[in-house]
Amino acid sequence: MICALLGVPYEDHDFFQEHASFATRSDKTAEQQQTANAALGGYLARLIQKKTEEPAEDVLSDFAARVKDGDLTLPEATLLAMILLIAGHETSATMITLGTALLLENPEQLARLQQIDNTTDAAGAVEEILRYLTVAQFGQRRIAREDFEFEGVDIKAGDGIVVPLPAGNWDPDAFPEPEKLDLTRKATHHHAFGWGIHQCLGQQLARIELQVVYGTLYRRIPTLRLAVDREELTFRPADSLAAGIAALPVTW
């Protein structure tokens, strides 16, 4: 999906999938991350330059036109393209694997999802899965612009604040029994995509992708199951930018 929107050739997906994953992983050295970023940036810069002469109906062609008109520099357009590619691919792919593992561990909820045949209920189920998992595990870093009090704590203007999204999504005042996966829960007020002016730009695309996957995969393959014991699954380091499973072997 993100390849089609950006205008990145899908046949190159192995290359950018490998390099894009470095941006959200903490188990790589700074040198490895720099090398991966340089390779991915060079690839996208060349692609943008090519689209200056051979434009198509995609985002990179729009960037190329803006570079040509002087609205953007090539490095600026390349950085925007990297952000969109990494954020648009890595997080959605991670949510699909994590969500699948979660549902396979909750067969009653999986059976309920398999019975859903309308888009409204499917959308509601996706919101609950987003709440429960909250892929963006890192606390969002902010600077207080003015003095205020929160839960009895005085915050001064200029203070640094770390806002952990999972903590809000597992707040029992907002979500009773938050540790319980309930696909009938009204969870649209979750913060999995952030909040306010810093909300994820691609959240609606992500929702559509997940609704299609979660609403189709388990009905198409009703016998889907893990091919290994859960204890054998390898998870990304806890301090990775996005939570995830390194590999999810399945069978049916």
Residue with tokens 């045949």: 117
**What residues are labeled active site?**
87, 90, 92, 200, 209
Give the domains, in start order, of the chain with CATH numbers: 1-105 (1.10.630.10)
- Is the per-residue pLDDT at 20 higher than 90? no
What is the tens place of the pLDDT at every residue in 52-110? 999 999 999 999 999 999 999 999 999 999 888 887 887 888 899 999 999 999 999 99
> What's the start-to-end Cα distance of the chain, in Å?
26
For the chain, the average pLDDT equals 89
Q: CA torsion 72→73→77→82, rounded to 10°?
A: -150
- pLDDT at 24 (0 to 100): 61
Mean pLDDT computed over 120-147:
90
Look at residue 235 and give its three-state secondary structure: strand
The 3-class secondary structure across 155-211, one letter per residue, is ECCCCEEEECHHHHHCCCCCCCCCCCCCCCCCCCCCCCCCCHHHCCCCHHHHHHHHH
Largest CA distance in the chain: 59
